[in-house]
Amino acid sequence: MQTALGVVILAAGLGKRMRSSQAKVLHRVAGKPLLARVLHATQRLHPDRLVAVIGYQAAEVQRVCGGAGIEFALQREQRGTGNAVLAARSHFCDFRGDILIVCGDTPLLTTATLNGFIQHHRARHATLSVLTVCLDDPASYGRVIRTSDGQIHRIVEARDATAEELAVQEINTSIYCVQADFLFAALERLQPLNAQGEYYLTDIVAQAVSTGLPTQAVRAADPGEVGGINSREELALMEKTRQAQLRSHWMAAGVTLEDPDTVYFDEDVTIGQDTVIGPNTHLKGKTSIGARCHIDGSAYIEDCRIGDDVHVHFSVVLSESELGNQAEVGPFAHLRKGAVLAARAEIGNFVEVKKSFIGEHTKAKHLSYIGDAEIGRDANIGAGTITCNYDGFHKYRTKIGDRVQVGSDTTLVAPLTIHDDVYIATATTVRHDVPAGALVFNTRQEAVREGWTAAKRAKEAEKK
Ligand code: UD1
Ligand code: CA
């Protein structure tokens, strides 16, 4: 029978060194909270049990990172990493097998590395294995102290280390694989005899070694992957690393990045083949972009669904919107929540669209506000058209049919229905529904006062 696998993720700490009012594990890399990243990497191991130990902002952490198969254990006081694992004990009462321990602040961990580590632990029949890595600058990490024959002896925290120990470059990644019965017995025996007065998980290594149990220190190949985040600076470095990985990933998948270093991806973004992305483009949230699209550059695109062959001209902000195949948007356009462009629709310069459907091949190319509207196909919305959707109390909808021609500088006072094939003359304020095929215009002619300018100037001159 295969040995059972449990996972414990330590995520109860505030993360003092972040100097934040937000729990450290809720800070994000490539748009995804640190803890959610670690959860996903460990979920793909298909563990029999997955427990995250939370404490600081527990409710919020659980809300943001919770999901099927994830259990949460509460560590009421943050009394150290050893005490944190102990807080998960009640979730493992009847459990026999290995427990993988990882920290919630190690966001770039991959499932492959964890898998390799667990296989190594099992192949050596180890009671305890710890994943280590050698760093040029071991900074504040715990140091891995080995005996002269290369066996692991113990781990010492930087704060408690001698000068000689501090010179050691092999560090503790805080990723462990431990047999469950040894683990919880060892945690019971921990003493907070160190500079921080905390119960250190690291001390179980010396316990295993001194009782003669098989103990392994396994070196990871890639230091970048196992690094923890303790400060804003480390967070920024991790972000950089992840962005570089995502750029490589999308280029390998057939996406052209004209200036890769200035294109920023969130983790869950997807992009089709032969799409070209210009400089200074931010792709956020759950944005998906189809094949053969062209995004000229300086674009901020969040939670949008973009079809195939779409052209996003220079400088746009698009959020929570949908763009059909061959649609065009920009330059200088703003699509807000609930903007839906059917195929071949075109939204141009200085046009804002909110919570509106724009029908197939319908165009609004200049200086318009379209809000709470539904527009049919093959319509044209002239420059300076405004849907007056809000009276200060309520929002109202505007419906515009197929093939409607809306003249420039039109004011559409909602609620309003303009039926198919209507012509709206330029500079019309439309307050009432218009039947299909009609022309609508305001009757008042412009008044002309001849000689008015000269008279006005003379009057102003008199005042001086
Ligand atoms: C820890 C290790 C150190 C290792 C480093 C790797 C200890 C004592 N030290 O140090 O050897 O090199 O990780 O990144 O284990 N946490 C709790 N409850 C607590 C304390 C911490 O849940 O009471 C959680 C934190 O939220 C964090 C993780 O444990 O996710 C690690 O804690 P942190 O304070 O960052 O430990 P380090 O000082 O980095
Ligand atoms: Ca840490």
Cα-to-centroid distance, 2 and ligand 1 (Å): 30
Cα-to-centroid distance, 225 and ligand 2 (Å): 14
- pLDDT for position 274: 98
Active-site amino acid positions? 366
- pLDDT for position 202: 98
Cα-to-centroid distance, 173 and ligand 2 (Å): 9
- What Å distances lie between residue 396 and 100, 142, 201, 340, CA to CA? 56, 62, 60, 18
Q: Indicate the top mutation candidate among 9, 37, 81, 234 to test ligand 1's pocket, ranked by most ligand atoms within 8 A of CB.
A: 81
The whole-angstrom separation of Cα 348 and Cα 340 is: 15
Could you tell me if 449 and 431 are in contact, meaning their C-beta atoms sit under 8 angstroms apart?
no
Contacts for 162 with CB less than 8 Å, ≥ 6 apart: none
Q: 331 preceded by cis ω (within 30°)?
A: yes
| CA nearest to 118, candidates 25, 4, 267 | 4
Ligand 1 atom closest to the Cα of residue 84 is 18
Q: What is the Cα 233 distance to its own chain's centre?
A: 19
Q: Is the dihedral of CA 224, 230, 236, 239 positive or negative?
A: positive
The whole-angstrom separation of Cα 427 and Cα 415 is: 19
Which residue owns the Cα nearest ligand 1 atom 31? 103
DSSP-derived letter for residue 137 is S
Ligand 1 atom closest to the Cα of residue 23 is 26
- pLDDT for position 444: 76
What residues form DSSP beta bridges with 316? 299, 333
Cα-to-centroid distance, 230 and ligand 1 (Å): 9
SS3 of 223, please?
Answer: helix
| CA nearest to 83, candidates 249, 178, 204 | 204
For the chain, which domains are there?
Answer: 4-219 (3.90.550.10), 232-463 (2.160.10.10)
Q: Indicate the top mutation candidate among 7, 171, 174 to test ligand 1's pocket, ranked by most ligand atoms within 8 A of CB.
A: 174
The shares of helix, strand and coil residues in the chain, as percent rounded to the nearest 5, are: 25, 30, 45
Rg (alpha carbons) of the chain, rounded to whole number: 31
Tokens standing for 53?
A: 């130990």
Pocket of ligand 1 (CB under 6 A): 10-13, 53, 75, 78-81, 83-84, 103-105, 141-142, 155, 157, 171-174, 200-202, 228, 230
Across the chain, which has 464 residues, the per-10-residue mean pLDDT values are: 93 93 97 98 98 97 96 96 98 97 97 97 98 95 96 97 97 98 98 95 98 96 91 96 98 98 98 98 98 98 99 98 98 98 98 98 98 98 97 96 98 98 97 98 86 96 92
For the chain, how many residues are written?
464
